[in-house]
Chain A
Amino acid sequence: MPPETPKRKGRTIEQRSIDPAAQAMLIRADELGLDTAFTRAEQMAPCPIGANGTCCRVCFMGPCRLVKDGQTGVCGATVETVTARNFARAIAAGAASHSDHGRDLAFTLLAVAEGEAQGYKIRDPFKLKKLAEELGIPTDGRPVSELAHDVGEKCLAQFSQQRGEIAMIERAPKKRKELWRKLKMVPRGIDREIVDILHRTHMGDDQDPEHILAQGMRAALGDGWGGSMIATDLSDILFGTPSPLVSQVNLGVLRKDEVNIVVHGHEPTLSEMILAATSDPELVSHAKEKGAKGINLAGICCTSNETLMRQGVPSAGNFLHQELAIITGAVDAMVVDVQCIMQALPNLAQKFHTHVITTSPKVKITGAIHIEFDEHHALDIAKEIVRKAIDNYPNRGEVNIPDVKSDVVPGFSHEYINYMLGGSYRSSFRPLNDAIMSGRIRGVVADVGCNNPRTTQDASHEYLVREFLKNDVLLVETGCGAIASGKYGYLLGEAAMQWAGPGLREVCEATGMPPVLHMGSCVDNSRILTVLSQVVAEGGLGEDISDVPAVGIAPEWMSEKAIAIATYCAASGAYVIMGISNPVEGSPVVTDVLSRGWEEMVGGKIEFVVEPEEMVRRALGHIDKKREALKLPAYDPERFGRSGDWRVLELEQLSPEERAEALYGQPASGD
């Protein structure tokens, strides 16, 4: 096929992505004349009014575009109100997405409790019991199924609850809860706060930007400390609480001679069952009949994070890899559930043999095959999907799998981190707190969030990680940011030896942990809230999340969920930096409310910063400011780095005689 001149507006392959696997596939797409999100982003300039948040389309007296100073909408809505309303609505949509995910898991748990969920079981009864106790459910002598039932019901009630407080805010530090209560910011029920936003941002309701945004925080807290937290906990209960394991990421995990099934989206429920189906002997032999050596399951986006964290299912990549995976020609089925699934997939798939299979009752895409998932018949459905993928294997055309993949060690649930730092008997966050207090670890950065084709894929993630490691900052990651780190070798114990500053390296060498901890999918940002709360509870780093030298950054964000996450982190006391662009750019006042205003009110804030160098500067500045406020020693890497294996490994090189001689060290000079 003669290569067509690629259509691009001044972006080189390197400017589209720093990932060599992505680059190879983008070249391939160009050769085939295929559009991808990368090229579409180049051709689609963002709507300047929407980008600034100044387009109001909540009623049909408009839509109104506020582009001049002092201009108002037909109803008189100011630019402050309009940007705040748009921002709040994005929070509502993001919170709804995460929370609905949590709700579905509660339904699955109930179905398991009632013995009606084919193929599922409780994998972590210990965590179930612990959660039951936390929710005030009697546990003594009760069978697991009863507990599961009560926990499922109680979790569901969190969504529909109308009064009082959602249960899991109890996990927050005391001071934080008191502040929320004082500000009337504790979510009453997860759904209620989302509905409240939709109501108050309807034409002619709340028209005070700070007031609108305060409700935004309340709804977002219902996500972080409600829907997402439920999603994380119930996923752990149903599919196992993650602990570290070795796996691989990037397109190179696809196999030329096996049936490749890629699960993509956000939920673990179906993908766990597909994983089970891939080892079904009948299906394996069916695959062999079709000429394949076996069945290979891989993931993309957060469904991938769910299966990577728990089962070590390799990841084919992050959000922007969904089209690239299809372009390999090696994907026999891409099975999607919810969120972040590009509509471009079925069209692109038509150019190859790939089946795009939608499965969620909530998600149908024109041109895709729809096989609706139902947890009551999960295994049957999973088998049907796998069979469909196998049957598609002989239809493959040319296959181009880039030989690019990296080893990763993911699986850092907060339960495991506790264990990691002290074993079964002494599990605690003490060593982490000590490391931060001593300055071995300068602070913690959560590098999270999406890919966005408007910027070079992974470039900001990679740069931030490299810089922070050099500065002895521990990274915790989720979502597509975590997969990005995996691609460049940061999710490995070895990474500490190569990239980390002396203090962080010592801590990593003492524990064996990578300097970048992969904590899960984007709903698992709730794990970061739990970690921060436990760090506070452990003592020595202040009384509130806002005291901890920590920063959250979403440098390549793109979804409304990212806004919801940023908001609940800020409302929980964290400093959050978002890249790309400022969605409330149109209103300096609202921009200021989100940063200075919120910092005064809740101790956390959101700032929009485009340049990664500036993100590093601000993040380190914030960390050092918090260290100073805690009266911790100023960061000084010179003081650390002596411990480790180096000396004894030198000794091991010697012959037994020389070793015996050298055991007591070199005689001190002048002796």
Chain B
Amino acid sequence: MSRYIATRAIRGAHAIVGEAASMLDKALSEKGADTPVSFPNTAYYLPLILGMTGREITKVGDLQSVVEQAKGLLHPVPPDRRWTPYLGETLDSGMATLLAEETIMALRFIYGLQPELMPGFALAGGTAFTSPDNGSGPSADGHLNGPIDDIQLRSWGIQLVDGRMPGFAAIVGCAKTNEVAVKIVRELQRRNILTFLSGNVNGRSIIHQLKEEGVELGYDTYTVPFGTDTESAIYALGFAVRSALTFGGMKGGQARNILLYNKNRVFAFVLALGEVDDLKYATAAGAINFGFPVIADTIIPEILPTGVTTYEHVVSMPFNEIEGADDLERAERLVQKCIEIRGVKVRVTEVPVPVPYGSAFEGEVVRKTDMRVEFGGKHSRAFEYLLMADLDEIEDGKIELVGPAFDDVPDQGAMDLGIIVKVAGRKMEKDFEPVLERQIHYFVNGASGIQHIGQRDIAWIRISHAAAEKGFNVKHFGEILHARFHAEFGSIVDKVQVTILTEPALHAEWLAKARQAYEERNVRIGSMTDESVDTFYSCTLCQSFAPNHVCMISPERLGLCGAYNWLDCKASYQINPTGPNQPIKKQTNLDPVKGYYSGVNEFALSASHQQVQEVSMYSIMENPMTACGCFECIAMVIPETNGIMVLSREDTSMSPAGMTFSTLAGMAGGGLQTPGIMGHGKFYILSPKFISADGGFKRVVWMSSILKEQMAEQLKEVAIREGDPDLIEKIADERVCTDVEGLVAYLAEKNHPAPNMPPIF
């Protein structure tokens, strides 16, 4: 700190702690000490308070001790002369500020003031504020986002760990102009940096600026509007705390570890736009505890010595003094500087398309009314087919359109499309075709104004008016794919050639070829069993977040995040032989039923840093595989039923275990082996090896309805495979019951096989 910052921050801390105390007094008298307080859809109570103090706040009265603790962290403002040191005192006052801010936000929830109302505002892509009573609660419209829920945190988890999302930016304040605001956010999106928005300067917030400019804000665009006051920036720090709890295996109250985890692993920074007031200084002091540096676009004192943060603590980049031809260039440089100061590793692939490009745009939705043209869906047919070619057979960078472009298609009309990608490379293998083909979805989606859904012959692509007006045409799909395949898979792909087909006859011909290939691949993958290979793969991608966790990926058991199957890992190993996916020779099969392999055990012992001695590939009851925090589903034994339940990450309802997904996730994650509970990938449920040691799929007595719906067809086949075609109907879900009594009764009524199976214990 500098003395100026110390003075302002400590002054701000005193004010906000005072405010929290008086709000609490008011709530105590108006609402009573027993009124429940919580943030929606999180198992982490008030996450910052949980992380820093270990307190599980559930009611208003619990907040008294928090406010007392905050008061205890306050210090006098340093005098103008004969001062004593103030750095530690300022950091403490910053922490007091955060405790007070979270207290204030929690209290605002009980007064219905959070998420902050903003009439006329809609969150991007329909990612509604997920309230506990999802669907019947507040809609996506008319309010800002409020705190990020656990579901979103977990689904971002894998992106945060694999580097697709290099970090997050907490923007507080208001940019110099709307134009600058948009540019800053676009620059961050282009780098896939998650952006949290809060605060204002004289009542005007960057959220207002972006809204005025029609920038889509919400989970889908990686830009989350928290609120127009500084206090709402606490949600960014609550998110940071939860990433340590979720992925780092830390517990509430391990404040120092949580803060260091963030310093070392979460690449975040604070960008203060416009004049910095006392409360912003105080909040920034809190953020510095996390190792997050603060960059301002105005004149503020600089603190360049390092230590609490990895690089500079506080940097002032007066906007007018940034080198640049115009404000847009200055905004770009400002973002570059932020990234440099936090040491965020960003890899940007220049994609030659006329619209902004980056993973932040992957989730964008193009609504029917905003649409210029669509391919696939109800009114046309689109497909994607990637195949391997000989090196001398194709020409790298050749992008060919065969057939008409969409100029003649009426507005909001549809046309047929085929995307044929031929790749060649010395290390390319036929098995990698589907691995690469699945990337088309992500690559195409990265373009702003383009929406891509599905894959193979159920692909569905929309181009928005905005994108079309900027000159985006179908050949640009080829440009995108050429650039991205080289960037991401350069070590196995030497040449990429793309053909875009709209010509009807050729379209039909290639569609038939593609379908034949899909079928062959299905058979190939379907025939691949754990016994048919001698090598499994590890995945330690998440060790940057969950240091002791290691996934063992076999043909019949994909990674728990759902993003990596055996073939993906094999390709990944080819691409990066020293990377997170290492081949594991199975070696001796110690127990074919439970799935113990000596090679797997050896690898687990070493890669888990001696935390895990043995891993059974096929049992939930004995040495189950550990989990980081990114799992799609949790399986858990329900002893009364002699079976297990499978809970989806997307299911926020109560489960028969008496806990929601978020709460259970705390038990399943963090790299610990807990018999009876396990995190896993969605498609593992379909595998013949799904807890096969414990009786297999027939043990499933309860399953989130969303899983049943998403995998209806495949589940039917599983039921047939298990010799009980009606099995799926016998499995309860949250619509049937969310308690054990109800479940037991339902199973008896439906004559579910599990209760009559051998005891699971």
Contact = CB atoms under 8 A, between A and B. Distances in A.
Contacts of B297: 664
A506 B2 CA distance: 9
B618 interface: no
B320 A667 contact: yes
Interface string A639-671: 010111101110100000000101111111001
Given A649-B4, A664-B318, A666-B321, A423 B91 contact: yes
B89 A423 contact: yes
Interface stretch (A40-48, A118-126, A425-433, A458-466): A425-433
Contacts of A668: 320-324
B2 A643 contact: yes
26 contacts: A420-B87, A422-B88, A423-B88, A424-B92, A425-B259, A426-B256, A430-B308, A431-B305, A434-B307, A435-B305, A435-B306, A440-B305, A493-B3, A493-B84, A507-B305, A509-B3, A510-B1, A511-B1, A512-B83, A513-B87, A640-B304, A645-B3, A660-B275, A663-B299, A665-B321, A668-B323
A241 B191 CA distance: 49
Interface string A182-198: 00000000000000000
A512 B316 contact: no
Contact of A509 (B2, B91, B275, B300): B2
A438 B305 contact: yes
Contacts of A648: 4, 299-301
B306 A431 contact: yes
Contacts of B289: 423, 425-426
B91 A645 contact: no
B361 interface: no
Contacts of A431: 87, 305-308
A536 interface: no
Contacts of B306: 431, 434-435, 438
Contacts of A435: 305-307
A210 B6 CA distance: 54
Contacts of A645: 2-5, 301
A663 B202 CA distance: 14
A423 B92 contact: yes
Contact of B82 (A407, A411, A432, A651): A407
B6 A512 contact: yes
Listed residue (B84, B255, B306) with the most chain A CB atoms within 10 angstroms of its CB: B84
Report, as a range, how many residues of chain B touch the other chain.
Answer: 35 or more
B82 A664 contact: no
Contacts of A434: 305-307
Contact of B255 (A411, A425, A428, A494): A425
Nearest to B79: A246
Given A434-B307, A651-B299, A666-B321, A510 B88 contact: no
B321 A426 contact: no
Given A440-B305, A642-B302, A647 B88 contact: no
A421 B84 contact: no
Contacts of B313: 510
Contacts of A432: 307
B319 interface: yes
A655 B306 CA distance: 33
Contact of A430 (B275, B299, B307): B307
A580 to B, nearest CB: 34
B81 interface: yes
Given A426-B91, A431-B87, 5 more contacts: A409-B83, A428-B307, A511-B1, A643-B304, A665-B320
Contact of A420 (B3, B88, B303, B316): B88
Interface string B80-100: 011111111111101100000
B3 A512 contact: yes
Interface string A328-342: 000000000000000
Given A423-B92, A648-B300, A244 B84 contact: yes
Contact of A510 (B87, B94, B298, B299): B87
Nearest to A440: B305
A276 interface: no
Listed residue (A428, A649, A663) with the most chain B CB atoms within 10 angstroms of its CB: A663
Given A431-B307, A509-B2, A643-B304, A420 B85 contact: yes
B86 A511 contact: yes
Nearest to B307: A431
Listed residue (A246, A506, A648) with the most chain B CB atoms within 10 angstroms of its CB: A648
A67 interface: no
B78 interface: yes
Contacts of A667: 320-321
A632 to B, nearest CB: 14
Nearest to B302: A643
A107 interface: no
B336 to A, nearest CB: 16
Contacts of A419: 88
A632 B503 CA distance: 66
A245 B84 contact: yes
Nearest to A430: B307
B11 to A, nearest CB: 14
Contact of B95 (A244, A425, A492, A640): A425
A506 B299 contact: no
Interface string B1-30: 111111000000000000000000000000
Contact of B259 (A244, A426, A513): A426
Contacts of B463: none
Nearest to B291: A426
A619 B115 CA distance: 61
Interface in B38-78: 52, 73, 78
Contact of B83 (A425, A493, A649): A493
Interface in A500-519: 506-507, 509-513
A407 B91 CA distance: 26
Listed residue (B52, B89, B302) with the most chain A CB atoms within 10 angstroms of its CB: B302
A645 B7 CA distance: 11
A664 B176 contact: yes
